[in-house]
Amino acid sequence: MTQRLTIENITAHYGTTKVLEDLSLDIAEGELVSLLGASGCGKTTTLRLVAGFLAPTSGAITLGGKDLTRLPAHKRDIGLVFQNYALFPHLSVADNVGFGLKQRGIARDTRAKRVGAMLERVGLSHLADRLPGALSGGQKQRVALARALVIEPPLLMFDEPLSNLDAKLRIDMRVEIRQLQRANGTTSVYVTHDQEEAFSISDRVAIMHQGRIMQLDTPEVLYQRPANAFVARFVGFENLIPMTVVARDGETATVEAEGGVRLSLSSGHFGAIPDRFILASRADGLAVSDETNDGIPATLGLRTYLGRAYQYQCETPAGHLLANGPLGRPLDPGATAKLVPVPEQCTILAPEA
Task: CB nearer to another protein: give 39 or 293.
Answer: 39
Order of strands, sheet of 58-63, starting from the edge strand that comes earlier in the sequence: 17-27, 5-14, 58-63, 66-67
Task: CB nearer to another protein: give 75 or 308.
Answer: 75
CA angle 52, 153, 148 (to 5 degrees): 85
Distance of closest approach, residue 46 Cβ to another protein, in angstroms: 15
Strand-pair category, 32-36 with 204-209: parallel
Task: CB nearer to another protein: give 34 or 44.
Answer: 44
Which of 179, 190, 123, 203 shows the shortest CA–CA distance to 155? Answer: 190
Separation between Cα atoms, residue 38 and residue 174, nearest integer Å: 20
Of 49-57, 189-197, 244-252, 282-290, the segment contacting another protein by CB under 8 A is 49-57
Task: CB nearer to another protein: give 157 or 273.
Answer: 157
Distance of closest approach, residue 144 Cβ to another protein, in angstroms: 8
Of 70-78, 168-176, 248-256, 322-330, the segment contacting another protein by CB under 8 A is 70-78
Answer yes or no whether residue 77 interacts with another protein by CB under 8 A.
yes
Separation between Cα atoms, residue 251 and residue 43, nearest integer Å: 43
Distance of closest approach, residue 295 Cβ to another protein, in angstroms: 53
Answer yes or no whether residue 168 interacts with another protein by CB under 8 A.
no
Contact with another protein (CB under 8 A): which of 1, 24, 38, 55? 55
Contact with another protein (CB under 8 A): which of 79, 211, 295, 341? 79
Helix (H) / strand (E) containing 21: strand 17-27
Could you say which residues in the range 247-286 bind another protein, by CB under 8 A?
none
Question: Which neighbouring-strand residues pair with 298?
Answer: 337
Distance of closest approach, residue 204 Cβ to another protein, in angstroms: 24
Task: CB nearer to another protein: give 159 or 197.
Answer: 159
Answer yes or no whether residue 241 interacts with another protein by CB under 8 A.
no
Write the DSSP string, 179-221: HHHHHHT-EEEEEES-HHHHHHH-SEEEEEETTEEEEEE-HHH
CA angle 240, 256, 343 (to 5 degrees): 55
Kindly determine how many residues on this chain lie close enough to bind another protein according to the rule CB under 8 A. 33
Could you say which residues in the range 146-165 bind another protein, by CB under 8 A?
147-148, 151
Contact with another protein (CB under 8 A): which of 24, 58, 103, 244? 103
- Residue 348: helix, strand or coil by DSSP? strand
CB 24, CB 10: distance < 8 Å: yes
Could you say which residues in the range 119-148 bind another protein, by CB under 8 A?
131-134, 147-148
Separation between Cα atoms, residue 188 and residue 194, nearest integer Å: 17
DSSP tally for the chain: helices H, then strands E = 9, 20
Distance of closest approach, residue 8 Cβ to another protein, in angstroms: 20
Contact with another protein (CB under 8 A): which of 5, 19, 23, 51? 51
Contact with another protein (CB under 8 A): which of 7, 80, 205, 207? 80
Answer yes or no whether residue 100 interacts with another protein by CB under 8 A.
yes
Taking CA atoms, 26 is separated from 3, 230, 318, 344, in Å, by: 11, 22, 40, 31
Task: CB nearer to another protein: give 62 or 83.
Answer: 83
Provide the b/e sequence for 83-94 (b: ≥16 CB within 10 Å).
Answer: bebebeeeebbb
Interaction site with another protein (CB under 8 A): 51-55, 72-80, 82-84, 86-90, 99-100, 103-104, 131-134, 147-148, 151
